[in-house]
């Protein structure tokens, strides 16, 4: 018996993370928390394995008057909030051109709105083969298809040849292409595109733009605040200035990680174009989608961001809190990578962020073998993901070697 509409009845959300997390929970009950390594959780935990919340954020949030939390917000978001998300997205690397932003329910909402409005129904959206599974869920939900290019070449650099081949393949049939690139601090590998990679990507798209094709590049910057020095990790953004009018740049801004505000579901989709009309159209179509999706988003979180931004002392204290969290997780990732090099574990090139990954032909087997050492990581299609954001440094030590043993056995 099914009562769902025909397009909806086969939808099932398969999440590799929940399976691994459930096995870990069972092991923790049996062996105790201290003996178990839980590398499945995608949020930052401190060295006592408690959720990290930035103290300044907590203090400011608790001071917001009830009426500012409870009132409705404008559909596109509070205007000052939108201005602030643009400034936070670009920092000192603002591209030249017309820019705008729309408030969204987290970075997920921003990706949803981009796919909703810049990919034709039935057509393909391009991303890498190592990717956040939700991209596929969003595409399928909207009747679009996700195509993958191979992210790494044989030297573990950005595989421009595969990117080019896939763009060519899609633009042979489509008039327009939406490309999602999660960089820097990519989930699930911690990889980032270099300036040179970006030049190649944008030069390629310019050649298609000259032939009249349209391209939209959505850069998913969910983890950018844990990727390195603020302006260094944003320097590629300047390249989005003065592009041909048929190339649109989009950035998905999120308060989830940067403000440790995951459950408050607040973000923005930021756009840059050399053409005013493209940005005017962006404002209209995004507002329409927001009305249809969630009407308006969490006012309290927007208010919080403004209170942090508008007070120099609060902002400094917030940045200090965040930098401490960043250092904590970066040290864990760096230690894992150091030990991986020492034992020749072929981990993918991690530069920063919440996750790193080890490729294998048999991810489930490797993940299962790790259970023998009471290590729980997430088996993906192409490898095993380790959430360094949630594992205390004392448990990171020795993990690479155990993974290497599991890999050899598998």
Ligand X SMILES: Cc1ncc(COP(=O)(O)O)c(C=O)c1O
- Closest separation between CB of residue 340 and ligand X, Å? 22
Piece of the chain touching ligand X by CB under 6 A; list 47-55, 145-153, 254-262, 308-316: 254-262
Q: Which is nearer to ligand X, 220 or 339 (CB)?
A: 220
User: Total binding residues for ligand X by CB under 6 A?
Assistant: 13
Which residues inside 108-167 make contact with ligand X, applying CB under 6 A?
A: 108, 132
Contact status: 187 vs ligand X (CB under 6 A): yes
Q: For residues 147 and 127, what is the distance between their CA atoms, to the nearest angstrom?
A: 6
20, 24, 27, 42: which one binds ligand X (CB under 6 A): 42
Contact status: 182 vs ligand X (CB under 6 A): yes
Contact status: 262 vs ligand X (CB under 6 A): yes
Contact status: 303 vs ligand X (CB under 6 A): no
Q: Which is nearer to ligand X, 336 or 355 (CB)?
A: 355
Q: Are strands 247-254 and 378-379 parallel, antiparallel or unpaired?
A: unpaired
Which residues inside 213-232 make contact with ligand X, applying CB under 6 A?
A: 220, 222
Contact status: 106 vs ligand X (CB under 6 A): yes
Q: For residues 405 and 251, what is the distance between their CA atoms, to the nearest angstrom?
A: 40
Q: Which is nearer to ligand X, 20 or 407 (CB)?
A: 20
Q: Which residue's beta carbon is nearest to the bound ligand X?
A: 106
- Supply φ then ψ for residue 46, to 5 degrees: -80, -175
Residues whose CB falls within 8 Å of the CB of residue 340, separated by 6 or more in sequence, listed in order: 346, 347, 358, 400, 403, 404
95, 107, 363, 383: which one binds ligand X (CB under 6 A): 107
Piece of the chain touching ligand X by CB under 6 A; list 58-66, 101-109, 156-164, 224-232: 101-109
Give me the sign of the Cα torsion angle 221, 222, 227, 228: positive
Chain contacts with ligand X (rule: CB under 6 A): 42, 106-108, 132, 182, 187, 220, 222, 254, 256, 262, 267
């Amino acid at each position: 018996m099914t009562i769902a509409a025909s397009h909806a009845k086969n939808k099932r959300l398969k999440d590799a993370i929940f399976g691994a997390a459930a096995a870990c929970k069972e092991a923790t009950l049996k062996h105790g928390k201290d003996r178990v390594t839980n590398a499945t959780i995608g949020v930052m935990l401190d060295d006592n394995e408690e959720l990290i919340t930035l103290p300044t954020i907590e203090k400011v949030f608790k001071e917001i008057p009830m009426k500012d939390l409870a009132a409705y917000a404008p559909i596109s978001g509070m205007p000052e909030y939108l201005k602030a998300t643009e400034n936070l997205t670009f920092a000192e690397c603002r591209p030249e051109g017309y820019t705008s932003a729309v408030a969204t329910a987290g970075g997920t909402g921003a990706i949803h709105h981009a796919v909703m409005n810049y990919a034709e129904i039935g057509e393909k959206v391009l991303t890498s083969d190592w990717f956040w599974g939700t991209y596929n869920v969003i595409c399928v939900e909207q009747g679009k298809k996700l195509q993958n290019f191979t992210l790494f070449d044989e030297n573990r650099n950005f595989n421009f040849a595969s990117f080019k081949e896939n763009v060519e393949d899609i633009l042979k049939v489509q008039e327009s292409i939406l490309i999602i690139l999660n960089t820097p601090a990519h989930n699930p590998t911690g990889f980032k595109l270099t300036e040179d990679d970006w030049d190649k990507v944008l030069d390629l798209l310019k050649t298609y733009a000259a032939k009249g094709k349209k391209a939209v590049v959505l850069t998913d910057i969910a983890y950018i605040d844990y990727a390195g020095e603020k302006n260094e990790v944003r320097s590629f953004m300047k390249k989005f200035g003065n592009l041909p009018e048929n190339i649109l740049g989009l950035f998905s801004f999120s308060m989830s990680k940067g403000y440790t505000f995951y459950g408050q579901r607040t973000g923005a989709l930021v756009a840059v174009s050399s053409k005013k009309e493209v940005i005017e159209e962006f404002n209209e179509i995004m507002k329409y989608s927001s009305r249809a999706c969630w009407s308006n988003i969490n006012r309290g979180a927007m208010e919080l961001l403004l209170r942090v931004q508008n007070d120099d002392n609060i902002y400094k204290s917030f940045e200090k809190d965040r930098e401490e969290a960043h250092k904590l997780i970066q040290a864990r990732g760096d230690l894992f990578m150091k030990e991986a090099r020492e034992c020749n574990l072929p981990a993918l090139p991690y530069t920063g962020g919440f996750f790193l990954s080890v490729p294998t032909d048999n991810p489930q087997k490797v993940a299962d073998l790790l259970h023998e050492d009471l290590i729980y990581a997430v088996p993906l299609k192409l490898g095993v993901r380790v959430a360094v954001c949630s594992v205390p440094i004392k448990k990171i030590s020795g993990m690479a070697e155990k993974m290497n043993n599991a890999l050899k056995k598998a």
